[in-house]
Structure 1
């Protein structure tokens, strides 16, 4: 019944909605995640008006569209999403909407040989490609191409904005390479709530262990908790990380399990995994999100990085990890 209602609502709103905007107006864009939304703002500049469906602390794996989301998407000039099964609960709706509006799955622009495959399903891939700035370059370029397709009159501006943003990403990647490499090799183990940091580990040579799998829909079994407690104790890992969009109960279970075996483990900080920081903050941008994660990981695991990060803009509480 819910699917029928959604389908009827789509058709009713589309029937009342005008077509594409004229070239002298801003494109009305809806983005699912904040990472996609910020990328579109960086590339689109003054020519786009972007609305994010999911804000800080929202888990895209579990998110379901609301009636206001449906109205926003059906009235938009285009909809952009990550894809690769990140927005699992939205997929059916977005596929249906694609028959009526331009819809772009930006992460699917990452070449297949650069995607991390699911260990159990060879045709499924880790969707968290934003964790590697070099892979995210493909997403930025795909956003540019899509905006040019939608609004060819401003092609030059989109190209210029893209070049400037890619320069920032290159500088960010250089910072991450140097900072994360300063962590002693035996300490380059990243333990988090779910397996969202695989691309970071692949890019910077870290072992990444999530309590849950790629999706927060997967269950964290007792055996997995016990295995990770064993690993924390045996390898003398002293810091693990919570995530802004995932409840911390499983991380606390690891800390308690290690403590029961006389091994102290601290929370190295809160990382941004599936959502960025608050809107309007530095951490609420793609550059700030990755800068925050790299800086916290580096400092918590014994490496060298400035408390305020690459651009000196991280929130003051970053100094708590000193």
Structure 2
């Protein structure tokens, strides 16, 4: 019923409503996650008017659009979203807007032969591509191209901002690899609440195991907990991790299962997976989030 209502509201906006937002001359951009908002802000700077649907700690897999969200989307000149079914409950809205809005699915612009397929996610690709910094660099270029097309007058500004941000991402990756190299390869086993870090593992030489599947809409069962507890014991995993956008109870249940078998494992900290931290904090940026995750993981597993 709620889905039908949202689509009805959207149809009304698309075919009958006037733009109620005062035009300040800037192109209006909306992103779904705050990860993408941070990226677009780096490229767009003061030349754009930017809004994000989701804030810190919000799970995009389960997010449902409000009436206010639909209004923001309707009034946008460009909409950037993760795609690859990351925002599963918003797909219908984006599809309905395609004929009248510049909707950019960033994940779907990446080469398919470089994506990780998953039979456990409706035979779709793993959407957590931002944990490969090289993919995020491609996102930055796509955003630059789209903003430049929509606002040719400021194309040089967007290009220069992108050049500076690409250099920052290169520095981030170099720092990441140096930190990882301090951790012996046999200790590079990352156990988390759900399968959000597979691209991280593939790019930076970690074995990654998630208790839940790629989407948090799936629930971990007793058998999943028991199987993963055996894996932790067999591989002498020192620490496991909760995630900021996923309830702690699943990882706490996993820890309890391990302890019940007379093996000690610690919760190594909370990682940012599907959302950044609070605005104004270091973890509220993509680069700050990545550094925080990197240091939390390496320090806990040493």
Shorter-chain TM-score bucket reads over 0.9
Say yes or no: does 1:29 pair with 2:29.
Answer: yes
Contact 2:242 2:269 in 1 (8 A): yes
**CA shift in 2, pair 1:248/1:3, >3 Å:** closer
Aligned residue runs from structure 1 range 280-319, under 5 A: 280-302=280-302
Deviations 1:3-44 (A, max 9, x none): 44333322333433359998x822111100011111100011
Shift of 1:216: 0.5
Deviations 1:81-132 (A, max 9, x none): 0000000000011110222211111122221121111145795111001111
Q: Aligned partners of 2:11, 2:228: CA distance in 1, in Å?
A: 49
The residue number in structure 1 matching 2:80 is 80
The residue number in structure 1 matching 2:215 is 215
Deviations 1:228-277 (A, max 9, x none): 11111111111010000000111011111111111111111110000000
Aligned residue runs from structure 1 range 188-227, under 5 A: 188-227=188-227
The residue number in structure 1 matching 2:46 is 46
Shift of 1:282: 1.4
What root-mean-square deviation, in Å, do the aligned CA atoms of Structure 1 and Structure 2 show? 1.9
**CA shift in 2, pair 1:122/1:56, >3 Å:** closer
**CA shift in 2, pair 1:125/1:229, >3 Å:** same
Contact 1:13 1:75 in 2 (8 A): no
Deviations 1:137-183 (A, max 9, x none): 11111111111111111110110000111111001011111111211
Q: Where do 5+ consecutive residues of structure 1 fail to align?
A: 303-322
Shift of 1:79: 1.1
Contact 1:20 1:77 in 2 (8 A): no
Contact 2:189 2:208 in 1 (8 A): yes
Shift of 1:206: 0.4
Say yes or no: does 1:233 pair with 2:233.
Answer: yes
Q: Aligned partners of 1:121, 1:211: CA distance in 2, in Å?
A: 14
The residue number in structure 1 matching 2:18 is 17
Q: TM-score, normalised by structure 2?
A: 0.95
Shift of 1:223: 1.4
Aligned residue runs from structure 1 range 124-143, under 5 A: 124-143=124-143
**CA shift in 2, pair 1:148/1:238, >3 Å:** same
Q: Aligned partners of 1:290, 1:301: CA distance in 2, in Å?
A: 17
The residue number in structure 2 matching 1:312 is none
Contact 1:194 1:216 in 2 (8 A): yes
Say how many residue pairs are matched: 301
Contact 2:6 2:65 in 1 (8 A): no
Q: Aligned partners of 2:48, 2:169: CA distance in 1, in Å?
A: 21
Q: Aligned partners of 2:152, 2:21: CA distance in 1, in Å?
A: 13
Q: Aligned partners of 2:54, 2:64: CA distance in 1, in Å?
A: 10
